[in-house]
Amino acid sequence: MDDGDDAIRQSAPAELPGEDTQAHRFGLAREAQATAVTEDYVELIDDLITTGGEARPTDIARRLGVAHATAIKTISRLKRDGFAVSRPYRGVFLTEQGRELACRVRARHRLVVEVLTMLGVPEDVAEADAEGIEHFVSPVTLAAFAAYRDRHGA
Amino acid sequence: MDDGDDAIRQSAPAELPGEDTQAHRFGLAREAQATAVTEDYVELIDDLITTGGEARPTDIARRLGVAHATAIKTISRLKRDGFAVSRPYRGVFLTEQGRELACRVRARHRLVVEVLTMLGVPEDVAEADAEGIEHFVSPVTLAAFAAYRDRHGA
DNA sequence: TTCAAAATGAAGCCTTGGCTACAGATTGCC
DNA sequence: GGCAATCTGTAGCCAAGGCTTCATTTTGAA
Ligand SMILES: [Mn+2]
Ligand SMILES: [Mn+2]
Ligand SMILES: [Mn+2]
Ligand SMILES: [Mn+2]
């Protein structure tokens, strides 16, 4: 309002994307974030059942590094949302919907780790970073990753 | 407790990492998540100031796709944590700490987009996915990305 | 100078996902 | 069969990050 910056303002360097575009991108990231915990739980539950035969709340909590009460509350959301069922002292079980999600999530997790590793990231760091990254890899990017892996020796 | 799965249990297929290792990884992801919003805000504020001369709460909110009240509350956390200061109707300003963070965050954002693009991800998808991925790329992975970019044509 | 539009910010509500503390159920060992 | 250890689950607390509503301030144009 004091300095005449009209020229600057109207020739806006185009370094920033359009407002709507950017808002949409942030919105997508927020959506992905909202499902991240669900994805981690179903993947872990499926892993525990596959390798150990059962997935008890206590085991889930210990593997996630959270208090057991936290795990129980989250599991109740999983049940509410149709991803799991549970029988006290018998463990948590995935519904068909839960297994389907776990399957997709695990495949994505592995592909992300694989690509990171191919890019020169040490295995354990790749595994750690993938735990966060995986939730934000869209289907298109996932396809690009798969193509890259297939293109180059795996 | 009924079927004898001792053999299965003690020869645990080693598909899962150790409990502590896995808990640690999830913990790192939770930590990274906790700073994601701060990172997006400071990066955006810095962009707005650079390209438009000012960063008003309303502009920030519109670009993020959130209500202005949400932006204001988050900005107050930014101020509380020493990343920003603000003068009503004059916009938000980054502290030295804020600018430093913005700088790192922007560099990381760009490198992530660059690598995704090199991997065959379309520009706009790369830009969208990077908005989430960026927050989980550790320094080691970032270095690997930079090396990859330099190694191959950029 | 007036005044309507725009921006600001506070208040209060919600859900998620953390936590601790406590109560109750089950298991499995002796 | 009993009992201690383990597991489960509830209750209640907290902060973050969304939201809407409303009051107030500032701006800028007439
Ligand atoms: Mn994960
Ligand atoms: Mn995972
Ligand atoms: Mn981001
Ligand atoms: Mn970013």
What letter would DSSP give residue A18? P
What pLDDT is stored for residue B153 in this prediction? 76
Bridge partners (DSSP) listed for residue A87: A91
Q: What is the dihedral of CA B75, B81, B84, B90, to 10 degrees?
A: 50
Residue A14 placed within a domain: no
Extract long-range pairs of B137-140: CB within 8 Å, 24+ residues apart: B137/A129, B137/A133, B137/B108, B137/B112, B138/A125, B138/A128, B138/A129, B138/B28, B140/A121, B140/A122, B140/A125
For residue B54, report the phi and psi dihedrals to the nearest 5 degrees: -155, 160
**Structural domain boundaries enclosing B26:** 20-151
Angle at A144 between CA B65 and CA B43, to 5 degrees: 30
State the total domains in chain A: 1
Contacting residues of B for A140, CB less than 8 Å apart:
121-122, 125
- Give a yes or no: residue A71 inside a domain: yes
CA A72 to chain B, closest CA, distance in angstroms equals: 16
| Residues from chain B contacting residue A36 (CB–CB below 8 Å) | 33
**Residue A83 structure tokens:** 């991803």
Structure tokens at A50: 């596959």
CA distance A80 to B76: 35
B10 assigned to some structural domain: no
Chain B: nearest CA to A152, how far in angstroms?
11
Q: Quick one: CA dihedral A76, A81, A82, A84, positive or negative?
A: negative
Chain B span 83-102 residues with beta carbon within 7 Å of strand D: 88-90
Can you give the pLDDT of all 154 residues of chain B as single tens digits? 333 333 333 333 446 788 899 999 999 999 999 999 999 999 999 999 999 999 999 999 999 999 999 999 999 999 999 999 999 999 999 999 999 999 999 999 999 999 999 999 999 999 999 999 999 999 999 999 999 999 997 6
Q: Give the model's confidence band at A68: pLDDT under 50 very low, under 70 low, under 90 confident, else very high.
A: very high
- The reply to whether B24 falls in a domain is yes
Predicted local distance difference test score (pLDDT) of residue A38: 98
- Tell me how far apart the alpha carbons of residues A90 and B91 are, in angstroms, rounded to a whole number: 57
Q: Which nucleotide is nearest to B65 (CA to C1')?
A: D18
**Residue B1 counted as domain residue:** no
Question: Per-residue pLDDT for A1 more than 90?
Answer: no
DSSP chain B: --S--HHHHHT--S-SPPHHHHHHHHHHHHHHHHHHHHHHHHHHHHHHHHHHS---HHHHHHHHTS-HHHHHHHHHHHHHTTSEEEETTTEEEE-HHHHHHHHHHHHHHHHHHHHHHHTT--HHHHHHHHHHHGGG--HHHHHHHHHHHHHS--
pTM as predicted: 0.91
CA of A63 to the centre of ligand 2 (A): 12
Can you tell me whether residue A87 is helix, strand or coil? strand
CATH code at position B114: 1.10.10.10
In whole angstroms, give the CA distance from residue A48 to residue A58: 12
**pLDDT per position as a tens digit, A8-48:** 333 334 467 888 999 999 999 999 999 999 999 999 999 99
Q: Is residue A15 part of a domain?
A: no
Query: Tokens in use for B102?
Result: 């913005």
A79-125, pLDDT tens digit by residue?
A: 999 999 999 999 999 999 999 999 999 999 999 999 999 999 999 99
Which bases in strand C are touched by protein, i.e. have an atom under 7 Å from a CB?
6-12, 16-21, 25-28
Residues 67 to 126 of B: which have CB under 8 A from any A CB?
115-116, 119-122, 124-126
Helix axis angle, B139-151 relative to A123-133, nearest 10°?
A: 100
pLDDT at A62 over 60: yes
Separation in Å, CA of B78 to nearest CA in chain A: 18
In a domain, B84, yes or no: yes
- Predicted confidence band of residue A145 (pLDDT cuts 50, 70, 90): very high
Task: Please tell me the distance from the alpha carbon of residue A118 to that of residue B133, in angstroms, as a whole number.
Answer: 18
Strand partners, B91: B87
Best residue in A15, A30, A49 for a mutation probing chain B (most B CBs within 10 Å): A30
What is the CA A73 to C1' C24 distance in angstroms?
Answer: 17
**Which nucleotide has the shortest C1'-to-CA distance from B58?**
C7
